[in-house]
Amino acid sequence: MARQPRRPINYFPGGLVGGIYQPLTQDGIERIHAATMQVYEQAGIQVNSERALRAFQAAGADVDFKRHLVKASESWIKDKIKTAPAKITLYGREERHNLELDGFKVYIGTGGTAVNVLDIDTGARRPSTLTDVQMAARLVDALDNIHFYVISCLPTELAKQDIDVNRFYAAIRNTGKHVMGGVYTPAGVKNVAKYAAMIAGSREALLKKPFISFITCIMSPLVMDKDYTELMIAAIETGLPLATPTAPMAGSTAPGTLAGTLVQMNAEALSGVLLTQILNPGHPVLYSCVPTTTDLRTGAFCFGSVEMGLMNAACAQLSRFYHLPNYTTAGVTEAKIPDAQSGYESMANIMLAALAGSNYIHDAAGLVESGLSIAFEQYVMDDDIIGMAMRAVKGIEVNDDTLAVAVINEVGPAGNYLANDHTTMHMKPEFFYNKAADRNSRSRWEMNGSLDARERARRMAKEILATHKPLCIDNKAEKEILATVPGMQQNWLD
C-alpha cells in the first residue's frame, strides 16, 4: 500500500484561545444588556410568523397578535435562554476539522451568499453557478488556515426549490470540513437533513456528530420575517445546529452609534436564541451577529469598515455574558477585486474579531464587493491573512526556553543565531510563513515574473483546483442520494 504523504503541522490551528482584545468594559456590557431589556419590554420584536407568535405566547411572553409584537421581561428572557448550550461542537467529516465552540476559542472560515464570481481564468465578473460552489469548497478544503466552509455563493442557474439540496451537496462533496449554509425552502431544509443522515449512516449518527448546520436570518430593525422564521422552525425541527444572524447597519437600519447598534443587535440576536429554546430546549444555537455600518456620506452599505470589526469583537464579549457560543463576521471588503483595499479591510476586521476570542468568524475568506462576489484568488490571500491572525491569537510565549538567556550568552556580542539549534527548533512553532506573499529579493522577484499578490494567488488557486482531491462520499450513499432526493443534479466535479 502506498504511504500517504505526511501533512505539515499547523502550529497556529483553529481553536487557539483569544480574548486579549476587549473593546467593551464590564460596565459597558452590563449597560448594553440593560438597554436591550428595555427595548424588549417597550418596543418589542415584530414576529410575522403565526406559529412563532403562538409559541412565544404559550411560553409566557406578552404577545399582541394584531400588531405581531412580542414583548418580554428580563427575568423571562434569562429563564428561557438558560437552556441553550454554552458549548457546541460542529463536526467535520474528518475529525481533525471538528470545531469546539467554547469560551474564547477562535475558528475562522468562509461565508456569504454571493451571486457573482470573478472568473479564475478571465477575471471577468459573471453569475455564480453550482460549479463555483464546488470549486470554492474544494479550494477551502486544501487551505489549512480556513477552518470551515459556509457556502459562499448561489447557483444562480437553479430554480429556488432545487437550490438547498444541490448547494449543500456541492459543498459536502468537496470538503471534509464543517459545512454551514443559508436555506431557501422548508422542503430543502428537510431534504438536506435527510441525505446528510444517509452520509452519516443514520439520523442518530448525524445528530451525534453534525457535519452540517443551517443559517436563517432575523431582519433589522427588530423583525422576525415570516419566511425566514418558517425556515428557522424547519431547521429547528431537524435537530441540527443553527445560526440565526441579524445584520443591522449602523446609521440606517440601526442607530447611528456603535453602542446603540449593539443594543438593537443584541435584542435581535437573543430573539433567535429564544425561539429555538422555546421550541426545543437545549437546541444547539449560536448567538449570531453581523453588525455592519452605513457610509453616511452616501448611504452605502459598508461590509469592511473598521467599526464593523469593533462591533463584532464586542459581540464575542456579549455572547459570553449570556454563556452562549457566538457566530460573528469579519473579513469582507468593499473592494471590487482582490487588491490592496481587499487586503487591509479584511485584515483589520479579522484581526479584531480573532483577538477578541470570537468562536465562529464567518465571511472571512473569498468575498469581495461587499459580499456580492467571490474571487478564488481572494480565498488564497485570505488564507494567509487568517494564518497571520491566528499567529497573533497565539501570542508570545514566555518561559525559560523562549527567553533564551543561555543562547544569548552562547552566541555573545556580534554573533549570529541563524545556525543555532535553538533557532532551528523554534523556526516553525514561533513564526508564521505566508504562502501567497513574496519575501524574495527584488532580483529574484523579477526573475520569477514580477508577479503581484493577486496573480500569485490566482496561480496557486488554479494549481490546487487541478490537483486537490477531497474526501469522497461513499458510493452507495451517493447513488441513493442522487436517485431518491428530489431536484438533485446528476453531474458533479471529479
pTM of the predicted structure, to 2 decimals? 0.97
| Residue-wise pLDDT tens digits, 304-336 | 999 999 999 999 999 999 999 999 999 999 999
pLDDT at residue number 137: 98
pLDDT of residue 3: 54
Say what the pLDDT of residue 1 is. Answer: 47
Q: 245 exposed, middle or buried (CB, 10 Å; 0-12, 13-18, 19+)?
A: buried
Return the CATH architecture of domain 16-20+81-394: Alpha-Beta Barrel (3.20)
Q: What is the pLDDT of residue 8?
A: 85
Would you call the peptide bond into 221 cis, given omega within 30 degrees of 0 as the criterion?
yes
pLDDT in tens, 325-375: 999 999 999 999 999 999 999 999 999 999 999 999 999 999 999 999 999
Query: In this predicted structure, what is the pLDDT of residue 5?
Result: 63
| Low-confidence spans in the chain with pLDDT less than 70 | 1-5
Cα separation, 36 vs 270, whole angstroms: 10
* Predicted local confidence at residue 7, as pLDDT: 77
